Structure 1
């Protein structure tokens, strides 16, 4: 493919997505169905605007690689443990039972047992992208149905990795074309033991490099504060790992997934997710376009009744099995039905695996083409099936009342996002976490993060002034944003931007001084705290005690001063932008406040002296003669 052809294909893909997706959304079909329709129209079997299907799938494979890298970033031990029942119980049961049932049906129709097993494994997978997006659009992603669906999908995504290694072992035909790998393996001519050793070495290199080499490079780039280089290196990492896997004959998606898993616990995870997120959305859209473009309409038109029967049979069988498995795991009937309908389609990895089976001699090309069409049509019907389910089942029976649950994609919806983890932010974070509130912390100083992580504190690298990073950190679900960054101007910008983008958030900000506090309030902060005010009040209280005040009197003095200063702070706020008027009013108000303070504290002193005198006076019994 020459440069001009590549530019033309890019133009066609982008134009198709930009035109078709908004129209599909407007018609209520959903963005995924819009991408599929666009791909079908521009594909080689309709308008033929993008060349051969093999060229189209080059783009699709890279979309899968990026998606698996991002899924790998989510696979943390804490997530696996928290969802162990949904993943390794519900998910594993669904995969094995569905693969066995579909394989049994294929065998009953006269296919070779190895072919039947391969078809069962491939069709047991569901579409992560379509299911999660469709559930999110309908507000069904939280709760038992959403968590169950995510657990099954995550187990399926994990199972894709061993499938890449297992499916070629089922070969019973001469190798064909369409294996899905467009580069020659460097170890293809070596003995089997040497190929296995090379594969193990490549996987070890990914794990070792991600833990001991990549993170120092990320730190070096972070210290230079070059955001575009950070993004470029993230993409370079994904491409390099995918290329390494391909050189040793493994799936590029396997390498990308492993790289994501290795970096899942690093301080750069949030920044990586944020930087690659735009590519994720674009490449997923591109992936769905290529899926639509890869549908062979000639096969569909030759046997339309067979295709309809296979699609309906697949969706009904998968839904029935999923419903039974969910009920066996004590999920409610309505949630089980929602999960079953959501997971009834074929998955995006089926296209890659079907290409692998043809290239490895497991399936005949004609069977693979028919199954590709079946999977594509079932994916396109999923938004329609969910819409019908929502209208006639959920709406008729009423939404189940259930406790709101965390989004499985996150570490748990945070209560607070803390922007800035210096001396001020650390105190706030300790108070919140000690009271069992979940806090996500962000800081842009890699030196500070390294030091804090040595003390066991989880801090994420990133510029909290970026709205996309706040969104990745959970701002759409959090309740409070605490702005504790050192730069006064950036703090004002962050408060203003956060209030516009996340109006539900309560924003509390650290102010350098009184004028900065006024600016933060005008920017939209719900509350401000001058960073040295409380410390000064506390020191003043301590000094009063050392000068002879009792603890009670010193505490009252601090409270009285704090109350009057807050009154003065609010009184002067309307004049903050008028310097001369502000200074004059501040002087007059401060003199008035000081007189009131002296008067109130003198009265407090008299009351305390009287109380002490009453306490020291003898009781009536003590005054009686002995």
Structure 2
């Protein structure tokens, strides 16, 4: 894309998003539905107004990075570690259950063993974007429900990163295990290095120049994107780096100011991300993927909430809390889209299997948004009684 076509794409996306969002609000629909639908309408498999979505996907990925950064700003490190220890068994056992269900379902539809393993793997993860974007920042982040949700999502993100590393190194599996272990060993080094930079550089700079709001804004963005890129270079994900960047300055007195001012920037990029999700699906393969996609989607939507409820009850969580966390995690993850892309590039799965994974992600992102928005507190709830931010 040249600069002119990028500007034209932005014009179509944001003008179209404003129009569809108006219709969504008037008909009491979640706004995320409007953004994904717009991608399907304007994308290369719809009206073909926007054919090259690769750049938009890359740009939209910044929305996920800022989302994780803002999440980190709202978390206290000591309490997060306590919650991770409590939810580790829940996250691991539930992942095993969903992987087995995904594998068995894919096998029943005649996919190869490798494709069944990949499809089953994608079923383990819930959407960080949906989970956090529909979480009220002033109501649940500092309450138990939000802490449970965040700790489970972070554990799933680490598992997703491990799966991606295995896929990237699938051609030489023995070397792949060594690479995986080496990459995971860099995570505590990243955390310790970030903590040292914040304590001895960033916090003194913030204290000295906190009167210059533009500088605070630039410093926050630079720290977020810098650590995200460093984590990506080390073999981790940019999302993990962004979260570490946020949590290391969560105790700063300027943290809430940064969080408030970065939210509009986050939303700008997230609109692009959801547009690219809708635009990436090839409708020409719909006949081949619709049945397995619907079955796997039904497993996500119907079984994830009770499975999470069961395991959370086993660790002494209240019934209402366990149900709400399960409902908020009742979808597939945006990581599954990346896993499908990597597995296809490594010739581990074919185009049909990749589109089954995409179909499940899109369907569950849409339908679970309805469930959460209509039943639980969220920033975009259609009921005034449930709208919280």
Smaller-chain TM-score bracket: 0.7 to 0.9
Question: Which residue does 2:384 correspond to in 1?
Answer: none
Instruction: Please give the secondary structure, in 2, of the residue aligned with 1:94.
Output: helix
Compared CA separation, residues 218 and 7, structure 1 to 2 (3 A): farther
Cα drift, residue 380 of structure 1: 0.6
Compared CA separation, residues 156 and 7, structure 1 to 2 (3 A): same
Instruction: Please give the secondary structure, in 1, of the residue aligned with 2:51.
Output: coil
Task: In structure 2, list runs of 5 or more residues that go unmatched.
Answer: 377-387
Are the aligned partners of 1:322 and 1:340 in contact in 2 as well (CA < 8 Å)? yes
Question: Which residue does 1:63 correspond to in 2?
Answer: 63
Cα drift, residue 82 of structure 1: 4.8
Instruction: Please give the secondary structure, in 1, of the residue aligned with 2:302.
Output: helix
1:129-168, aligned counterparts within 5 Å? 129-134=129-134, 136=136, 148-168=148-168
Question: Which residue does 1:546 correspond to in 2?
Answer: none
Question: Which residue does 1:223 correspond to in 2?
Answer: 208
Question: Which residue does 1:105 correspond to in 2?
Answer: 105
Q: Does 1:29 align with 2:54?
A: no
Structure 2 Cα separation of the partners of residues 355 and 60 of structure 1? 16
Question: Which residue does 1:17 correspond to in 2?
Answer: 17
Instruction: Please give the secondary structure, in 2, of the residue aligned with 1:83.
Output: helix
Are the aligned partners of 2:115 and 2:353 in contact in 1 as well (CA < 8 Å)? no
Cα drift, residue 376 of structure 1: 0.5
CA RMSD in angstroms comes to 3.9
Compared CA separation, residues 162 and 349, structure 1 to 2 (3 A): same
Instruction: Please give the secondary structure, in 2, of the residue aligned with 1:62.
Output: helix
Compared CA separation, residues 332 and 378, structure 1 to 2 (3 A): same
Instruction: Please give the secondary structure, in 2, of the residue aligned with 1:125.
Output: coil
Q: Does 1:79 align with 2:64?
A: no
Q: Does 1:96 align with 2:82?
A: no
1:38-437, aligned counterparts within 5 Å? 38-84=38-84, 87-134=87-134, 136=136, 148-170=148-170, 204=189, 207-208=192-193, 211-212=196-197, 216-217=201-202, 219-220=204-205, 222-224=207-209, 225-247=211-233, 250-331=236-317, 335-386=321-372
Post-superposition Cα deviations, 1:293-318, rounded to whole Å, max 9, x if no partner, equal 22222222554344333322332232
Question: Which residue does 2:381 correspond to in 1?
Answer: none
Instruction: Please give the secondary structure, in 2, of the residue aligned with 1:47.
Output: coil
State TM-score, norm by structure 1: 0.52
Question: Which residue does 1:464 correspond to in 2?
Answer: none
Larger Rg: 1
Structure 2 Cα separation of the partners of residues 196 and 86 of structure 1? 24
Which has the higher mean CA deviation after the structures are superposed, 40-49 or 303-312?
A: 303-312
Higher helix share: 2
Cα drift, residue 323 of structure 1: 3.6
Structure 2 Cα separation of the partners of residues 88 and 323 of structure 1? 15
Task: In structure 1, list runs of 5 or more residues that go unmatched.
Answer: 174-190, 391-475, 478-626
Structure 1 Cα separation of the partners of residues 113 and 147 of structure 2? 34
Post-superposition Cα deviations, 1:124-152, rounded to whole Å, max 9, x if no partner, equal 21123324454659x99998766654443
Cα drift, residue 381 of structure 1: 0.9
| RCO comparison, higher one (Cα < 8 Å, 6+) | 2
Are the aligned partners of 1:241 and 1:259 in contact in 2 as well (CA < 8 Å)? yes
Post-superposition Cα deviations, 1:423-464, rounded to whole Å, max 9, x if no partner, equal xxxxxxxxxxxxxxxxxxxxxxxxxxxxxxxxxxxxxxxxxx
Cα drift, residue 170 of structure 1: 4.5
Post-superposition Cα deviations, 1:107-164, rounded to whole Å, max 9, x if no partner, equal 4545444443332232221123324454659x99998766654443343234334333
Are the aligned partners of 1:29 and 1:383 in contact in 2 as well (CA < 8 Å)? no
Are the aligned partners of 2:297 and 2:363 in contact in 1 as well (CA < 8 Å)? yes
Compared CA separation, residues 316 and 141, structure 1 to 2 (3 A): farther
